[in-house]
Structure 1
Amino acid sequence: MNSKKICYACDLVDNPELIELYKQYHSQGSAWPEITKSIKDSGIIDMEIYILANRLFMIMEVDESYSPERKQMMDVANPKVQEWEKLMWQFQQAPPGAKEDEKWILMERIYKLQ
């Protein structure tokens, strides 16, 4: 099976209490099981989220079935994912350069160790 990595960035509202609560929602075992299932069902093999101050970095390993468009369609059709996204919007804000209603922005890889 071929896989590739995709990276995204998102900002959090710069509020220490909200950031701590966001971290709690994402701590090991705290994410809703329906969200984890939705992620895996979309072709995401592995996902990690890192934080620096109020900036988030998401690293995803995806299989050949994954596409951002397919994932978006799956998310729109899933009421539990919509509930989660609405909840997360209280913590998240669009990073610089984002379009309206966009919060996770695809990052461009500029270097890879060979």
Structure 2
Amino acid sequence: MRTKRYALACDLKDNPELIAEYIKLHKNVWPEILESIKAAGIEDMEIYNIENRLFMIMEVNDSFSFERKAEMDANNLKVQEWENFMWKFQQELPMAKPGEKWMLLDSIFKL
């Protein structure tokens, strides 16, 4: 199965204590969240941060689609609980539509 890579960005609230707590929470992500990520066809995921900016890289297999992932998440109470909890820390990027968290980045260079 081949993989495809996506890059996404999200902002955290500009509060050092909240940022530190967000990072700590991501060192021990709930097992149900990890299971839902894998079940959606995401083979690998990494999140990086600088100050209050987050950058995510996802490697996905052929079964993955953003629409399918959104539907799976909407029907998973534990994922909804996690996502609602994460809004305590996250904020929309300036160009985001209301309620839009992670935004897909366009690739502009590849070596």
TM-score range, shorter chain: over 0.9
The TM-score with structure 1 as length reference comes to 0.96
The TM-score with structure 2 as length reference comes to 0.99
- CA distance in 2 between partners of 1:10 and 1:36 (Å): 19
Aligned residues: 111
Could you tell me which amino acid in structure 2 is paired with residue 19 of structure 1? I
Q: What pairs up with 1:1-114 in 2 under 5 angstroms?
A: 1-27=1-27, 30-113=28-111
**CA shift for structure 1 position 98:** 0.5
- CA distance in 1 between partners of 2:64 and 2:109 (Å): 23
**CA shift for structure 1 position 96:** 1.8
What stretches of structure 2 of length at least 5 have no aligned partner? none
* Percentage of matched positions with identical amino acids: 59
Could you tell me which amino acid in structure 2 is paired with residue 63 of structure 1? N
Measured against aligned partners, the alpha-carbon deviations of 1:61-91 in whole angstroms (never above 9, x if no partner) come to: 0000000000000000000000000100000
What stretches of structure 1 of length at least 5 have no aligned partner? none
